[in-house]
Amino acid sequence: MKNDAKKATNSGQPSDFFLKAIRRILRPIVKTLITHGVTFPMVSEMLKHAFVDTVDKDFRLVPDKRPTDSRISLVTGVHRKDIKKFREQAGEDDLPHAANSLGAQIIAKWRGSSEYLDEHGDPAVLARFKTKDKTPSFEALVSSISKDIRPRAVLDDLVKRQVLSLGPYDTVILKQSAFIPREDMEELLVHFGRNIHDHLAAAGNNIAGVNKPFLERSVYHYGLSADAVKLLEKRAEKEGMDVLLNLNREAQQLLEAENKPLEGTKRVTFGIYFYAEDDSERKP
């Protein structure tokens, strides 16, 4: 396999092994596209656009100089008239970054900032309104992230989604262990786009072998019973959530320790997934 990859790199042509891996990656993507009514002509147009945009941003010969339409056509095989059209549409198809979700930011800070944790390190029950003695409150939490949206509107939305509940004596309780949008499809798709993008970006970086590899590890097991899968899934969910919550807590502490936390230029994603299916590859 190493010789195959080296040969492909030297020849400038993708190896058969690489193309087989890409076809495998495409299967769940195509399944998701068909499920949501996306046809091949639609994907073909999006794929051409993605080729043009990627070369435009990531394959510049000079960092501050955009490549010409001719060079993009040479690298991608996309016709120049399509390149011109796509460049005029630049940015129109970009999804908002998941970090812009106010609900996600509120839950992350609630779970990670020492100001909003109880003595056991769990999310504290918050007063609904700001108090004179500066008791941690939901109103203050929302205001610390955005002053453009009324805390009442945020509260009503998150209660409706069953992320929060109202407690006695005007208190607010976090119900979920993580912020998982259940009803807002647009927000769910933002997370979908970011998570898959970042996982593929990390994996692509690692097989390129140019930059320092990112963490990307997994375990595979075959021939398991349905009961064994349920047991492993439960274990993975429990231990995986512990890791996510601890990392979120540390990230919040680092932000609080920075003198100018909002001026940083880096972002990180650390995710966990679990998947199981019938092992069709081993069937006769």
CA atoms 248, 249, 250, 255: torsion sign: positive
Nearest to 218 by CA among 282, 272, 276: 272
Pick the closest to residue 199 from 28, 15, 13 (CA basis): 28
Nearest C-alpha neighbor of 108 from the set 258, 266, 250: 250
The predicted model gives 4-26 an average pLDDT of 75
277 HSE (CA, 13 A, CB side): 7
Beta-carbon contacts of residue 194 (< 8 Å; ≥ 6 apart): 95, 97, 98, 269
| pLDDT (0 to 100) of residue 1 | 43
With 70 as the cut, is the pLDDT of residue 189 above it?
A: yes
Mean pLDDT of all residues in 27-50: 89
Question: Highest mean pLDDT: which of 7-16, 89-98, 164-173?
Answer: 164-173
The C-alpha atoms of residue 93 and residue 113 are separated, in whole angstroms, by 34
The percentage of the chain sitting over the pLDDT mark of 90, rounded to a whole number, equals: 43
| Banded model confidence at residue 218, pLDDT cuts 50, 70, 90 | very high
Q: How far apart are CA 223 and CA 210, in angstroms?
A: 37
Look at the block and give the residue holding tokens 């019938």: 278
Q: Assign 163 a pLDDT band (cuts: 50, 70, 90).
A: confident
Q: Is 146 helix (H, G, I), strand (E, B) or coil?
A: coil
- Report, as an integer, the average pLDDT of 121-137: 89
Closest to 52 measured CA to CA, from 75, 34, 30: 75
| Average pLDDT value for the chain | 84
- Which sign does the torsion angle of CA 75, 76, 80, 86 carry? negative
Tell whether the model's pLDDT for residue 99 goes beyond 60: no
Residue 104 banded pLDDT, cuts 50, 70, 90: confident
* Region of poorest pLDDT, from 3-7, 47-51, 110-114: 3-7
DSSP H/E element including 208: helix 185-208
Whether 182 shows a pLDDT value over 60: the answer reads no
- In the predicted model, is pLDDT for residue 209 greater than 60? yes
Of 281 and 172, the structure prediction assigns the larger pLDDT to 172
Which whole number is the average pLDDT over 142-150? 88
What pLDDT does 5 receive?
44
Tell the residue number behind the tokens 């002509």, with chain if given.
Answer: 41
| Structure confidence at residue 266 as a pLDDT band (50, 70, 90) | confident
Write out the DSSP string of 155-200. HHHHHHTTSEEEETTTEEEE-SSS---SS-HHHHHHHHHHHHHHHH
DSSP state of 64: T
Nearest CA to 107 out of 94, 120, 97, 98 is that of 98
Using one digit for the tens of pLDDT, what is the confidence trace for 67-85?
A: 999 999 999 999 998 998 8
